Structure formats: C-alpha cells, structure tokens
Structure 1
Amino acid sequence: MSYGYIIRNHDFYLNEEVGIKCRYCPFVQLEIKYILPALDTYRSKRVPKKKMYTSESEFSMWEAFHDVHGNSLGSSVHGKGTVWDIFPQVRENMYQHQQEGFEFLWTNVAGGTEIDVIKKSLHNENIGGCMISHAPGTGKTFLTIAFIRSYMEVFKECRPVIMAPACMLLTWEEEFKKWGVDIPFHNYNSQELTGKEDEVACRMIQGRSHSQKMIRLVKLLSWSKERSILGISYSMFEKDAGEKSVTGKGKKKQREIPYVNKDEEKETKELRRILLEKPSMVILDEGHTPRNSRSQIWKALGNIKTEKRIILSGTPFQNNFDELYNTLCLVRPQFAERFTTGQTSSHTRQNARGVWTSLTNAIGKDNGKDLLEEIRALIDPFVHVHRGSILKESLPGLRSCVVVLRPLPLQRELLEGLKDIQQIFLLEHCVSCVSIHPSLLISCGSSSYENSSIDEVHEEQLSIQQKRNSKSGRRDKIATQENSELLRRYAKDSIDKIKSDEFRLDPDQGVKTRFLMELIRLCEVLKEKVLVFCQYKYPFVLIKGQLKHHFNWTEGEEVLQIIGDYTFNQRQSIINVFNDPCSKARVLLATVGTCSEGINLIGASRVVLLDVLWNPSVERQAISRAYRLGQKKVVYTYHLIAYGTMEEDKYDRQVHKDQLSELVFHGDKEEDPSIIRDDKILEEMVGNKELRSIFKQIHVPAEPDT
C-alpha cells in the first residue's frame, strides 16, 4: 500500500508513474525518467487471461459488463477497532477540521467510525449522502482521497465515481499520483490510455481503431472489473447518462431524440444503465454546479441508484435558497421527508419545496431567527462546515478591498449613453468592458458577446432570459443588430479615436487599465506576481497589448493567459510555469469561468477582479486560487467597481447574498478590528498626485475567516 504521509524514516518502493518514492510521504528519491526502460515491463497483479478475442465477431464489450458487480459492496468488512486503524498515518497528516470531516464522512456514508458498528450498519436507513462544505483552499481533495482509499480498503468491491467540471479532472488525477494512491484512476474524459487499464479490456480492442467511444468503453470496463476509481465530467455524464430528449418549441413538451438504428439504441441505453447503476459511491466536486432542478444534469444525477453521495463545495449557497434546496435534495434525497412527515410520497417533494420556501423567506429579517435555527437543525446532520479558520492560522494573511473608481470623461460619456440599451445581458457586457477601457466598446457592438467566456451561472441565466424574451433565435439576432447600431451612435463623435492603435495602447484612457498597469509596475519592483480575473476574454487582448507595449513583455514568458478554449494540458502547463518562483512569469490573465475553481495559483500574491459578477461565490472561489494552503505570502485582492454604473448595484446584490449564506452556514460574522490591513502598494497609488483623482472610495470589508 502506498500513501503520501510525512514521517521521519523513508520506506522506498517503485511507483511506475513517479519513480522510486517513499511509501509514506511525497519524497521522490529517483524520478522514473532516470530508471532503466526494462522496468517499464513490470506490472503487478495482472488479470488472469480468461478469454482471448481473436475476431470481431467474438468481440462484445457490452457483454463483459454483465459479468462484473461493481455496485455491490459485499461483506468485506474486516477487523476491529476504528476507521483510523485502517491507515494510522492518516490522522497525523490532517488538520483538525479534516479529522472531523473524515469521521463525518464515515458516519454518514458507512454508519459510524467503529468497525463493529459499520458491520451492523450496512443496511441502516440513516446511511446516505452528505456534504463537505469546507472553505476553498482548505484541503477537501486530500480529505476525500484519504476517505476513498480507506473506504475501499474496507469495502473492496466499492466502485467510486468522482464527478467534477472537466477542467478539474486532470487535477484529481495529479492528486492521486501526488499522494501515491495505489488504486488506478480512470479519466473517462481523456482520450489517452494510461497503461493501468484492464488487460482483457485492452485486448478486446486490439486491431480496431481507437475511437473516442472505444477508449471510453475500455476505461469503463476496467473500472467495473478491477478495483479502481472513475473520473468523469458533469457534461460527459449528462451526455452519456441523461435522458435523450429535447424540448420542443412553444408549448410542445419534451420529445425523445430518435436513434439511428437498433444497435445505437441498445448501446446508448446500456451505457446509461452502467453509469447510473454501477457506481457504489458518487463524489460531486464543486457539487453546487448542478443546482438547477430544470437542468438535464440535475435530473440525470437524481437517477443514480446509489444514495452514497458526497458533495464537495466551499460555496454551497450560490444565488438563492431554491438552488440550495436542489443541492441538498441531490446529496440527500430523503431531505424532503425531514419536514413533510405524514404526507403521501406523491405530494412529499412538491409540498416540501413549499415548506422550504416559507421557512427561508423570512431569513435575514427581524422575525427569521427562530426559523434560521430550524433550518440549521435540518441540515447539520449531513452538512459539515468549516469556515477556513485554518487558513487564518496557517497563512501569512488575506487583505481584501473594494476599490470604487471614477470613470474618465470619455468613459463616463459612453457609459451614460449605454443605459438606453434594453437587452440586459448586452448592457451588462458593454458596461463591464467600457469600464475597463473605452476602446473595448468596439468588441461589444457585435453578437459575439454571447460567445464571451462567462461564468456558468450567468450563461444559465442568459439562456433562461432568452427563452422568456424571445420566441425565436431570429428575434435575438435582430435585437443584437439593433443594439449594434445604437452603440455606433453612442460613439459617433469618437469612433475613429477609440479605434486607433495609439488610443488602445494607452492605459491612461481607461480607469481600470490605469489602475491595473500602475499596480503591475509597483508589483514588478517588489517581485510579486499578479493574477487578473475577468468574466470576458476580450479585455485580455487589450491588456496583453498594453503590457507588451509599455513593459516590453512577451506572451508566454512574462505574460500568461488561460481562457476557455485552452486544453486541460495547456492550462496545467501554464499553471506550473506561473507557480514556479524561478520563472519569468509576472502576470496571469484568467477568465473566471475557467480558473475560478479547483486549481492552485499560489504563485500570485496580488489578485485583481476587473468586473463584478452576480454570484459572489464565484469571486470568492477565484480569490481562493491564490489564498489557499501552500501560500507563502500575504495575498492582497482588489475588487474594481466603476462608480455610477450598474456594477455598484451588482455588488450590493453580492453583499446581500453573502449575508444570507453567512447566516445559514456560519451564523453572524464577527469583525476583528485588531487586524491591520497594510498595503504599501495601494498606499503608494493613493498618495500619487497623478492617480489620486481616480479613487472615489476604498472599502475594506470585515476580515473573512477564509
């Protein structure tokens, strides 16, 4: 058994992925690339050769699935004592909140922490799903890996599935390697075979083209046959396990998508059955993602057979209490029954939602305190919360501020004119971009705003808004064209000016680019790296040009960028370069939709949020890319808001949502006036006579625990 634990004496073994490493800690004595190639032929625990498939007529991948029982836990519980005795070193490497979370997971998923109790609890009605709501950056991944590995040591037939946003599967794969877990992790989304697949499954596709479908079937069969873990993205699960239907136009109900032939129908239904019935346990990373009860992914997840579901989310409250209810019901389907006792099953779910709504409507109001306690009592048994105090205790610190900036004259003129736009999402896009720099108005004046890199919540709201406000895509297209004409009218006196290269490359023409460039200049003196977030990708083209022009920097060296169309391997390579203290990288530009969750960017000590999102949890997640365990410096964050624009209203909505989330999960937030928020760079900028006029207000929120 290999596992990554830190102890004084090393015990070395050969890890085929890493090299010669310690069984108990991450120390690597000799990397795999320096080991003789002959060792590559080594494979342990090969599957016996049960059957050779020598012709295509004999090949039947689907039949192979009927011979495995991956969803059976069996009766392989063994030994006495507690779950800590399975791998004693686990506890030594966990913080207090992780130890509590470890026991919480065992209690909810297996019925207790005593082996004897677990033996008697295999069919306990109280066993089910739970949520680990630990603040971003506090080690949820390691906690989950430790639990999965320990659980699979007890329940050897367990077949877990880890579901996450596609961009995070590679991170999970790397974490399993990092901690030396000796159980294969099959990335269902990846089109590459790792060498850990089942030998019989690989033999089945010899001589056949390695299509995406075939490779995925090999991984699926390998996971089913051998003790292993399957990683799959939400979008891929929805595609392969969701209902094959589309919504008709107007008042037409959903209709089933016709199959090409009988073989396709059989294969599609069999694949769906496997994904829904085989998992023994499902871990939903960033489990707040499928929170809309009308979405296909939420419905697909609700059809999974196992109720052993674990949601990992540092920000379970996203936009409203209705979404939170959906998340709670997803992880714990019996949740509705907790406050609808005595009702028939046909009315339980509908009535439960009504009761939940009545309970939550009063939260935040004077008469909501008792109801708040009632809600906490309902969710406490299966939701484990850690606010992130470990970060406050272990890291140098977090200094956050909201910087309200006065738009410059041309910006102010353009922003005032934009208020006439009726289409809310086009208006929001234009205000966000023009607040950064007036020349970005050009990119706003086309239908391409719909293809910008926007966060998932915003995209979902956009889809709903389009369905409500238009009967056809043609009307949306016409509206966009009309708004483009309005934009040209707004800038008719300055259109040539804002199109010129001289204007675009001048950061002093935009209040936010002016702030950003001065911040970067001062950070360069102190050798600090800057992480810049924006929900749209077009501003980065402008910012890269200004950095090249004024700093003589090169993209790929001093300036890095991660946006939605980058591959997962490209993103990971950029992340590694940025976090390397010896690299030339100074600035990383990242869209919130691609980099706000699940990745480590501790190379940055300054984080700039260029615009404002409706969902505060997305921004909190973005900041946590830098402010997380492993950070060696104080992290300073700057949330930029354009004075006199809709960004102020959006920020006010953020504050309200944050307050509701705090009330439900943490209680009243207490301010700590003893904390000194010293920021020499910001002080320098405010004291600069040439910059002083752009600052309207600098607000320092109460110091958060996270």
Structure 2
Amino acid sequence: MEHTGWTAESKPQNEEDSELKPDEDEDLSFFGNHTSGEDESVSEVNDNVWDLIPELRPKLHMHQKKAFEFLWQNIAGSLVPALMEKTSKKIGKRPLVLAPKTTLYTWYKEFIKWEIPVPVHLIHGTRSSRVFRPTPAVLRGSGPRPSQDVVHILDCLEKMQKWHAQPSVLVMGYTSFLTLMREDAKYSHRKYMAKVLRESPGLVILDEGHNPRSTKSRLRKVLMKVETDQRILLSGTLFQNNFCEYFNTLSLARPMFIKEVLKTLDPKFKRRKKGAQKARHLLESRARKFFLDNIASKINSDEAEEKMQGLNMLRNMTNGFIDVYEGTASDTLPGLQIYTILMNPTDIQHQILVKLHKIMEKCPGYPLEVELLITLASIHPSLINSSLCVKKFYSNVWKPPLPYSSI
C-alpha cells in the first residue's frame, strides 16, 4: 500500500507529490530520498527524540521509525531536543486531526492502542453523535430533553474548551470542520468555534488530504485559512498528472510553498516593495500560473531533456518535505481480500428471473428498469412489487405466499 506523508514546516529539502506517475525508472527518485529498504539504519544518536519515548521504538516497523523521524525532523527541525527549533510556542501544541468520518474512531482507537498519555477529544457529526456521544453533563437530570443539534453544539464547545485547557488532541471529520468553520454564522458561539479552529491549532494533520485538491473546493479554501504552517498531509492516492491539483495539494500541505514558487520563478517577486504584497489568494493564483507554465509544461514535454529539466526544477523546489513508503516484499500484511459468494435462486426467483431475462432480450438498447427488477428479484422476489415500473413489463404481478409476505 502506498502511503505518502507531507509536512509543511521544513527547511527546503526534498518532496514529491503522491500524484506524479513516473514513466521511467529514473523518475522514481522524484518521489523523495526516503526508501523502504531496511538496510538504512534509523539514527542511533544519543540524546535524541527516541530517548523521550523508549517504550515505543521496539514496537515500530522499520518504515514506521523512518516515517516518525521524517515527520519530527520537518516539524521540530532536529531529532536532538537541544537543537529543536524554538521559533514558535505553538509547535506541538493543540494538534488538530481531520479525517473522513469513516476513520474517526480508528484514529481514536490508535491513541488508545499506543497508550499515548495525552487526552484525545473526538467530535462526531450530528447524526453519528447519537451512537458515540453521551449527553453533556450540563444537560443531565430532569427537565425537557434538548434537541440533537443543541446537544451536538454543547458537546463541541465542551471538547474545544478541554482542548484549550491542557495539551491534548482534537479529532473531527471534514464535514464537521467545514460546518463549524462557516464565516457567515449569526450566533456568537458559532463564530467563537470558527475562530478557535482557525487560530488555535498548532499542528494540523489531514488524513486522506488529497481530497480537497480542486481550486474550487470550499473545504480547501477553508483549510488554507487555518493559521498554522505546521501541517502533515497523509495520502495513499498517487498523483493523476493534473499539475494544477498537484500545486494545490503542495500548497495545502505547505502554505509557504506559494512564496517559494514565486521567489524561484517570478522575477518581479523579489523586487516588490515591502507592504505592497498582494492578498494570499492572489499570490496563490500567480504562483499556480508560474508553476504550470514553467514546470508542468516542461514535465509534460515530449522532449526528454526538457522533461528532465522540469523534474529537476521540481525536485529542487520540493526537496525534503515528502516521504513515500511503497511497501516491500517482506511486508506481512495480507492486503485486500476479495470474495465472491454464489447463491442458487429459489424456484420462485428462478421463474421470475427467467421471465425478466426474456423481456430484456426483446427490449431495444439496455433497459435499466428491467435490470432493476432483476436486481430486486435476486434479493427477494417480493421486492419487485416495490418498483413502480413492474406493471410495465410484468402483466401478472407476482403475489408472495404467506411465508414471504411477513418479511
């Protein structure tokens, strides 16, 4: 399984986008200098970050140790605590994890599994909260039962307050984040939560972070307003050779990438007077154009020399803040398993399906309505009566006997 980590706050080293599709073996180096071979030893320097978590190191695979060092190096600046960058008091404070709602509980369980001694606050969506979230303490007791929306808002406020009170992690889904970040909110508590999510995170982790890659994505526009350059973008989806989306993903993971592109490719950028900087979205638009005109066009060229020139420019510009693990033959994970179960139809189902297939043979083109009836009859013969189109093809609508009618 491919897994790509992107970090934003790093000294320019090497990066790559998980979306470029290398056609030549020589292009594989485009995806960064971190390889999955176990012959590369993880740093054994004394007095490094591993000394702070000695109980975790033996439990990790080699590629996990390298990934940890890669992330720590980019976020903190060094694996040696004494040499870590101290330019921001927000480093490591108030991490915010954003993930698809289907993986929220998985994230939560991982903190429990690894016995991380940091509180984790999980914010569910309004619907799923009925299953996972207890009623807040302030609402327990006698009296009218509040609506689900009220319970959800109070739960969000309670967990955000705890998130601020002590070092802890806040985990929520992208949908919840987008809802709570609405700028047109009329109520003060909504404006407060939007302000907290915009200004307070010291580190943002984006699971499946390639999803908001469109220029028009409302989620991406909101994420770009979060006031931290400390970001980690996780993705298992490779780049589809859409360099506009590639640029958007790079700048989402590393907001400073926008200015880095302009400093490298825009001759007018360095001469611009201080105080005359354009708005961020205008700078981003200009940087995107230079990126596409000067780098993407070369990489897409049919000329080998020009293609390599574009790849080299990209390597130099993205050096060090992307890591890729592509897996090795020694992996013990079983991978995806696909099973197909074949079941024989009942006598009644067989009669109905035979008749429907004969009807389909006489119909011109591909009749979707008949296909629907076949699907319904394959599940249970009584379901064909639930379709409005059944009388169009079936003159004698089948009436289920008593044993079926109760289902």
- Which residue identity is paired with 2:71? L
1:374 matched to 2:326: no
What does residue 168 of structure 1 align with? 103
43, 48, 63: which one aligns with 1:97 = 63
- Which residue identity is paired with 1:86? L
- Which residue identity is paired with 2:248? N
Identical counterparts, % of pairs: 30
In the superposition, relative to structure 1, how do residues 494 and 336 fare at CA in structure 2: closer, same or farther (>3 Å)?
Answer: closer
RMSD, aligned CA: 3.8
Residue deviations 1:630-652 (CA, integer Å, cap 9, x gap): xxxxxxxxxxxxxxxxxxxxxxx
Structure 2 counterparts to residues 258-657 of structure 1, below 5 A? 259=186, 264=187, 266-318=188-240, 320-341=242-263, 343=269, 344=272, 345-346=277-278, 348-358=283-293, 359-367=295-303, 368-389=307-328, 393-395=331-333, 491=363, 498=370, 504=374, 542=375, 546=378
In the superposition, relative to structure 1, how do residues 353 and 276 fare at CA in structure 2: closer, same or farther (>3 Å)?
Answer: same
Displacement of 1:312: 0.6
Displacement of 1:370: 1.9
What does residue 109 of structure 1 align with? 75
- Are the equivalent residues in 1 in contact too, given 2:101–2:173 (CA < 8 A)? yes
Residue deviations 1:20-64 (CA, integer Å, cap 9, x gap): xxxxxxxxxxxxxxxxxxxxxxxxxxxxxxxxxxxxxxxxxxxxx
The structure that is strand-richer by fraction is 1
SS across alignment from 1:227: coil
- Are the equivalent residues in 2 in contact too, given 1:188–1:232 (CA < 8 A)? yes
Q: In 2, distance between residues paired with 1:497 and 1:294?
A: 36
In the superposition, relative to structure 1, how do residues 328 and 494 fare at CA in structure 2: closer, same or farther (>3 Å)?
Answer: closer
Q: In 2, distance between residues paired with 1:332 and 1:275?
A: 18
Residue deviations 1:534-566 (CA, integer Å, cap 9, x gap): xxxxxxxx2x864779xxxxxxxxxxxxxxxxx
- Are the equivalent residues in 2 in contact too, given 1:340–1:352 (CA < 8 A)? yes
Residue deviations 1:83-102 (CA, integer Å, cap 9, x gap): 11111132222222222211
What does residue 215 of structure 1 align with? 155
What does residue 121 of structure 2 align with? 186
Q: In 2, distance between residues paired with 1:397 and 1:232?
A: 27
In the superposition, relative to structure 1, how do residues 172 and 321 fare at CA in structure 2: closer, same or farther (>3 Å)?
Answer: same
Displacement of 1:272: 0.8
1:231 matched to 2:231: no
In the superposition, relative to structure 1, how do residues 546 and 332 fare at CA in structure 2: closer, same or farther (>3 Å)?
Answer: same
Q: In 2, distance between residues paired with 1:493 and 1:386?
A: 47
Q: In 1, distance between residues paired with 2:366 and 2:335?
A: 45
- Which residue identity is paired with 1:498? V
Q: In 1, distance between residues paired with 2:217 and 2:95?
A: 24
Q: In 2, distance between residues paired with 1:222 and 1:331?
A: 27
Q: In 2, distance between residues paired with 1:196 and 1:399?
A: 36
How many residue pairs align between the two structures? 291
In the superposition, relative to structure 1, how do residues 385 and 110 fare at CA in structure 2: closer, same or farther (>3 Å)?
Answer: same
In the superposition, relative to structure 1, how do residues 180 and 195 fare at CA in structure 2: closer, same or farther (>3 Å)?
Answer: farther
- Are the equivalent residues in 1 in contact too, given 2:210–2:249 (CA < 8 A)? yes
SS across alignment from 2:210: coil
- Are the equivalent residues in 1 in contact too, given 2:198–2:225 (CA < 8 A)? yes
In the superposition, relative to structure 1, how do residues 192 and 307 fare at CA in structure 2: closer, same or farther (>3 Å)?
Answer: farther
Q: In 2, distance between residues paired with 1:500 and 1:227?
A: 54
Q: In 1, distance between residues paired with 2:61 and 2:229?
A: 28
- Are the equivalent residues in 2 in contact too, given 1:83–1:114 (CA < 8 A)? yes
Q: In 2, distance between residues paired with 1:397 and 1:206?
A: 45
TM-score, normalised by the number of residues in structure 2: 0.62
TM-score, normalised by the number of residues in structure 1: 0.37
Q: Which runs of 5+ in 2 are unaligned?
A: 1-45, 339-355, 382-407
Higher relative contact order, chain-length normalized (CA < 8 Å, sep 6+): 2
In the superposition, relative to structure 1, how do residues 98 and 361 fare at CA in structure 2: closer, same or farther (>3 Å)?
Answer: same
117, 141, 159: which one aligns with 2:94 = 159
In the superposition, relative to structure 1, how do residues 99 and 545 fare at CA in structure 2: closer, same or farther (>3 Å)?
Answer: farther
Displacement of 1:328: 0.7
- Are the equivalent residues in 2 in contact too, given 1:288–1:315 (CA < 8 A)? yes
Displacement of 1:300: 0.9
In the superposition, relative to structure 1, how do residues 340 and 495 fare at CA in structure 2: closer, same or farther (>3 Å)?
Answer: closer
Q: In 2, distance between residues paired with 1:332 and 1:165?
A: 21
Q: Which runs of 5+ in 1 are unaligned?
A: 1-79, 129-150, 245-256, 401-438, 443-487, 505-541, 550-706
- Which residue identity is paired with 1:123? T
- Are the equivalent residues in 2 in contact too, given 1:290–1:297 (CA < 8 A)? yes
Displacement of 1:373: 2.1
Displacement of 1:389: 2.3
In the superposition, relative to structure 1, how do residues 234 and 396 fare at CA in structure 2: closer, same or farther (>3 Å)?
Answer: closer
